[in-house]
Structure formats: structure tokens, C-alpha cells
Amino acid sequence: MKRLLSLQSSLFGAEGASGKLSEGFIARLQKNHPGLKITHRDLNQDPVPHLNAETFSGFSLDANERNASQQQAAQLSDQLIEELKDSDTIVLGLPMYNFGIPSTLKAWMDHIARAGVTFRYGENGPEGLLTGKKLYVIATRGGQYAGTPADTQTEFVRNLFSFVGIRDIEFIYAEGLAMSDIREQSLSQAETLLNKKAAA
């Protein structure tokens, strides 16, 4: 482990449950891996614009064919992709909002999933180009949804990252955080599991 991308998507940033668990996990990884270089990307503090028709069409143009708005969008997309390419480990703090992922995370995903850059179509179908990476997803929810039809996050996140080549994915859940009787136990269990993974 040499380079890590910390990707946070909570509305509450580092003060949210996913942010606190993620930052604690990263601190332990950093302690166990001296010299670990960390890139922080907080999608609450620095949100990525949602795609529109102009942005999307500009991605497929040569640089000299893009207008100013398309150039700016492509440069941001290139930067986000480079952050991902440069990292061998990704830690994603993932709260659940209204049964889905945060819209800021979806916007980030739309900027890093680019044909010919992070995936390509070959004779056998799509091929992800961002291989050899490890993704930890720290998923925090107010209710208890893992393993039920209401968990719309897990397969979506797994499919998107697998599509661009990141297939070594682990989910760590902290659920029932809106339930006072199990909140602290759930957070403690997640933190214990993260401690074990950081020490491995």
C-alpha cells in the first residue's frame, strides 16, 4: 500500500458517521504503513457538477474541438481520474440518503466512468482499465438494509467500480444508526472490524 484516495460523500463531511469511521480507519492505515501518501476528496466541501448534454458530449471530442465549458469539465474529469489511477487503495465513506447514494457521489462516478479512459469495449464486451486496486466501502445507514431488497447501494457501487476494473471490494456496514438502542453497538462493531482490517 503506497497511495490512498479518501473519498468522502457525507453531507456532514468528517463529522458524519461515515466520515468519522473512514478517517479513523485511514489514520490506522497510515500508522501501519509509514510513508503512505493520501489524497483527500470531500464531495461535500468540493462537489462535482452533475453532467449535462454539453459536458457529456465534450468528453468524446478532441481537446481542440471543445468549447470553454467542455474544456473545464474535461480537465476536472481528468483530475478525478488521475487521483483514482494514482491510488492503489480507495476508502469510500458512503452514507445512505433516501435509499440511494449521495447525488454528489453519483456526479463523481459520472466523471470517472469514461469510455477509452477508464473502460473500453472489446470483442468480449466492456473491459475495466483501473485494475490492481483495493476498495473499502464504509457504508452507514439509519436503518438496517444490508442483504435486503431495500439495499440499493451495494450492488450499484460494486457494479460501477467493477465496470472500471476495480473488483477487490469490501463493504463494512454500520447500520441502525437512527435507532438509539443499537446505534453505539453498531458503530463499535464497525470500528472493531476496521481495526482488524487496518492491522492485516
Q: What is the pLDDT of residue 200?
A: 84
Q: What is the pLDDT of residue 59?
A: 94
Q: What is the pLDDT of residue 189?
A: 97
Q: What is the pLDDT of residue 171?
A: 98
Q: Round to whole Å and give the CA distance between 41 and 21.
A: 16
Single-letter code of the amino acid located at 158:
R
Q: Following DSSP, what letter does each residue of 92-128 receive, concatenated?
A: EEEE-BTTB--HHHHHHHHHH--BTTTEEEETTEEEE
| Residue 120 β-bridge partners | 127
Does residue 1 surpass a pLDDT of 90?
A: no
Number of structural domains found in the chain: 1
**Containing structural domain, residue 165:** 3-199
All three cell numbers of 12, joined, read: 456532514
What is the percent of the chain where pLDDT is above 90?
A: 96
pLDDT tens digits along 48-85: 999 999 999 999 999 999 999 999 999 999 999 999 99
pTM of the entire structure? 0.95
What number is the average pLDDT over the span 124-148? Answer: 96
- Provide the CATH number for the domain around residue 176: 3.40.50.360
